[in-house]
Amino acid sequence: MNMKFTAPIRLLQDAVNRVSQAIPSKAIDPRFENIHLAIEPGKLTLFASDGEMSITAKSEISSEDTGNISIKARTLQDFLRSMYDTEVTFSIERQEISDHGTVSISTDKGKYKIPCFFESKMEIYEKNYVINLDLPSVELQYLIQKTIFACSVDGMRPAMMGVLFELESSSITAVSTDGHRLVRCRKSTVIEVEDKQKIVVSARVLSILQKLPLHETVIIQIDQDKRFVRFTQNNVVIDASLIVEPYPNYEAVIPVIHDKQVSCDRSNIYDSVKRVGRFSSVGDIKMVLADSIIKVMAENTNEGESAQEELPCSYTGEDITIGFNAKFIEAALAHIDEKEIIIELKSPTTAVIFKPVQEKETGSLIILVMPVRINA
């Protein structure tokens, strides 16, 4: 069986780069090292999978042939990455009495050969999707960007390695936590769901969704048993297994009442924490709130280093000294866009909430950080 197709390099590069995101960095099963190509008259469908997630992309080609082959992802990527903008022709020839074959590639400047494998068909499994909704890509990516940083990387807590999405007719709420911090981000939107739906999508899948174009709609489909989800945008389809372990009851963690509140300039305290935190031997900082001043302090007693800065703020409550992981505070402040923030707290051992002043009433974004024990 011989096949042939011609396409612009740039179109192939885009499609291959899309699907290769599903290829695991270390594949135990050789099937997951390959990109699968289905050739049809005028159309090329590319597919790659790691067993838990798959990505399918389609591209226009010039061809009159039909067939299925697979090529090692790294080989195909390396070739396309090194090429300039031109047209390329793939001529595929099967070896006698074998599933192996050769792809002869020709451009206006050169000729190249890479191996391939012939297949009967691509392994694309269809699911029974019963929940369908459309969401602007910019809204989905906003929710991902605000939450993905707080996902756990602990394989012993699989539910927390993803983001919980609560889908309702008038809003989508996204939640992430690693046990030390928690983010809840709510976006008002109109979607067609009759009952409240809850799904947990892995951080790896969400990181791929972040690379989709912003100014397009994403179609989200969920299967009947809430075990699989599909994201479709134009010619790209991402299928993934959902995390089925129950998500922690995050609402029980969010404090209802705080008796102390600080409002301050976000960039001032963010820059201060970045500077002062570098002086800590264990990565922790100490904050002292008193007399409309925030003192940010850290020390490295082993090296004889220390730092202290004072920032103006508006503070109501008794004087308090509280410790934090500096990186957690940096990350929280980096994911708040507004100029002024509110910090709500109660004691040196209870959760502290960071949120934009503009969202004080709506509560559409809150970032909760647990304090750490500090030496007096």
Helix and strand counts by DSSP (H, E) for the chain: 6, 25
d(C-alpha 23, C-alpha 54), whole Å: 9
Q: Which CATH fold topology does 2-119 show? A: DNA Polymerase III; Chain A, domain 2 (3.10.150)
DSSP state of 246: P
In terms of phi and psi (left: phi > 0; alpha: psi -120 to 50; beta: otherwise), the region of 179 is left
For residue 348 the two structure tokens come to 């040196």
Our measurement of the distance from residue 19's CA atom to the centroid of its chain's CA atoms, rounded to an integer in Å, reads 16
**Which uninterrupted H or E stretch holds 71?**
strand 67-72
**How many angstroms separate the Cα of 368 from the Cα of each of 53, 159, 329?**
31, 18, 10
**Which of these, 81, 83, 68, 74, lies nearest to 34 by C-alpha position?**
74
Cβ atoms within 10 Å, residue 281: 12
Q: What is the CATH number of domain 254-369?
A: 3.10.150.10
**How many angstroms separate the Cα of 311 from the Cα of each of 90, 172, 206, 295, 336?**
64, 36, 37, 6, 19
Our measurement of the distance from residue 176's CA atom to the centroid of its chain's CA atoms, rounded to an integer in Å, reads 11
Give the DSSP letter string of 268-311.
Answer: HHHHHHHHHHTT-SSSEEEEEEETTEEEEEEEETTTTEEEEEEE
Q: What is the dihedral of CA 277, 281, 285, 290, to 10 degrees?
A: -110
Q: What is the pLDDT of residue 362?
A: 53
**Matching CATH number, 129-251, of 3.40.50.150, 3.10.150.10, 3.40.50.2020, 3.90.650.10:** 3.10.150.10
Cβ atoms within 10 Å, residue 247: 19
Q: What is the pLDDT of residue 360?
A: 52
d(C-alpha 261, C-alpha 345), whole Å: 6
Q: What is the pLDDT of residue 120?
A: 72
Give domain limits for the chain: 2-119, 129-251, 254-369
pLDDT in tens, the chain (376 residues): 689 999 999 999 999 999 999 998 876 777 789 999 999 999 999 999 998 999 999 999 999 999 999 999 999 999 999 999 999 999 999 988 788 999 999 999 999 999 999 987 766 667 788 888 899 999 999 999 999 999 999 989 999 999 999 998 888 999 999 999 999 999 988 887 878 899 999 999 999 999 999 889 999 999 988 899 999 999 999 999 999 999 999 999 998 888 899 999 999 999 999 999 999 988 999 999 998 999 999 998 888 899 999 999 999 888 999 999 999 999 999 999 999 999 999 999 999 999 999 765 455 899 999 999 876 5
**Which of these, 56, 73, 77, 42, lies nearest to 233 by C-alpha position?**
56
Tell me which amino acid residue 271 is: D
**Which of these, 70, 60, 66, 68, lies nearest to 14 by C-alpha position?**
60
Bridge partners (DSSP) of residue 145 are none
Phi, psi of 211 (to 5 degrees): -95, 0
Sequence-distant (6+) residues with CB within 8 A of 104 are: 90, 91, 92, 93, 111, 112, 113
For residue 175 the two structure tokens come to 């939640």
**Which of these, 70, 73, 123, lies nearest to 101 by C-alpha position?**
70
Q: What is the pLDDT of residue 376?
A: 55
Q: What is the pLDDT of residue 57?
A: 96
Q: What is the pLDDT of residue 162?
A: 97
Half-sphere exposure of 84 (CA within 13 A, CB side): 5
d(C-alpha 294, C-alpha 286), whole Å: 10
Phi, psi of 109 (to 5 degrees): -115, -15
d(C-alpha 336, C-alpha 89), whole Å: 49
d(C-alpha 170, C-alpha 5), whole Å: 47
Our measurement of the distance from residue 70's CA atom to the centroid of its chain's CA atoms, rounded to an integer in Å, reads 28
